[in-house]
Amino acid sequence: MHIEIDEISKTFGTTAALHPVSLAIPSGALVALLGPSGSGKTTLLRILGGLEFPTSGRVLFDGQDATGLTVQQRRAGFVFQSYALFRHMTVFENIAYGLKARPRASRPPRAEIARRVQKLLELIQLPDIGARFPSQLSGGQRQRVALARALAIEPRMLLLDEPFGALDAKVRKELRQGLRDIHDETGLTTVFVTHDQDEAMELADLVVVMSGSQSGGRIEQIGKPQDIRARPATPFVRDFISA
């Protein structure tokens, strides 16, 4: 799905989080929102997912105005920073949640739900953990379960907030490839937030470098990783990627 962000701004009370920003995300792209904390990258992601509403500006999905759509209507697969798995449910129940929450008319039958959950568990290469609880999983496993849960609703796009933030360096490298593979397999337009430039440069097709200021976060440069490396558009980008 093609996503267009048109002059979106956001203020929380008196704090400016986003200066008006515009961005076009081509269908099927894997995009990184890269920036330090306070650059508004998570706010932008949450606005895409419908968890926050912009103070001004519009969001367009495939050319259609989606600004007023509720979270449920957007069908965005969202992976939270700390994964937000339902702690009292098994992995199976976590992944099945979105399918069971559908209105009766479009809810798949029980056996179909079980089949789909099993397929997703195989996709994340953890076929045997359906009966476990989140507290019994490692950080890397939790992240993959969160990804499977987000994919279960057959989302129109995939949004990930610091998906590798809570993991140690070795697992992080492995899961990067995992996300790339899943993206290539599903072809979903995918946006992830990170403060780690290596991660952004290595994984993304398109990197959006953001910076923070008193008047809110803004976009410094949009480009392919190699172009940003070769030709940083502003002193901020040069400093940030050489850090």
Partner 1 sequence: MSDISPPHFRAATEEPPLARWALIGIAALGLAVLVFAPLIVVFAEALAKGWLAAVKSLGNRDALSAIRLTLTIAAIAVPLNAAFGIAAAWFITKFDFRGKAFLITLIDLPFSVSPVVAGLCIVLMFGANSWMGGWLVANGYPIVFALPGIALATMFVTFPFVARELIPVMIEQGRAEEEAALTLGASGWRIFRTVTLPNIRWALLYGVLLCNARAMGEFGAVAVVSGKIRGQTATMPITIEMMYNEYLSVAAFSLAAVLTALALITLLLKALLEHRHAGDLAAARRH
Three-state DSSP class for residue 160: strand
Cα Rg of the chain, angstroms: 18
Nearest to 155 by CA among 78, 221, 217: 78
One DSSP character per residue, 15-69 reads EEEEEEEEEEE-TT-EEEEE--TTSSHHHHHHHHHTSS--SEEEEEETTEE-TT-
For residue 29, the one-letter residue type is A
Degrees, nearest 5: CA angle 103-86-166 = 130
Q: Closer CB to partner 1, residue 152 or residue 209?
A: 152
Shortest spacing between CB 50 and partner 1, in angstroms: 8
130 touches partner 1 by CB under 8 A: no
Beta strands in 132-176, from DSSP E residues, in sequence order: 157-161
* 86-105 positions binding partner 1, by CB under 8 A: 86-88, 97-98, 101-102
* 139-168 positions binding partner 1, by CB under 8 A: 149-150, 152-153
Q: Of 14, 63, 104, 135, which lies in the binding site for partner 1, with binding defined by CB under 8 A? A: 135
Q: Of 1, 80, 132, 139, which lies in the binding site for partner 1, with binding defined by CB under 8 A? A: 80
Q: Of 51, 129, 171, 233, which lies in the binding site for partner 1, with binding defined by CB under 8 A? A: 51
Q: Of 35, 40, 77, 212, which lies in the binding site for partner 1, with binding defined by CB under 8 A? A: 77
Shortest spacing between CB 35 and partner 1, in angstroms: 22
71 touches partner 1 by CB under 8 A: yes
Q: Closer CB to partner 1, residue 148 or residue 237?
A: 148
Which span (29-37, 56-64, 77-85, 172-180) binds partner 1, by CB under 8 A?
A: 77-85
Half-sphere exposure of 120 (CA within 13 A, CB side): 26
Three-state DSSP class for residue 155: coil
85 touches partner 1 by CB under 8 A: yes
User: If binding means CB under 8 A, how many residues of this protein chain bind partner 1?
Assistant: 27
Helix residue ranges per DSSP H, 153-196: 169-186
Site residues for partner 1 per CB under 8 A: 49-51, 71-72, 75-78, 80, 82, 84-88, 97-98, 101-102, 133-135, 149-150, 152-153
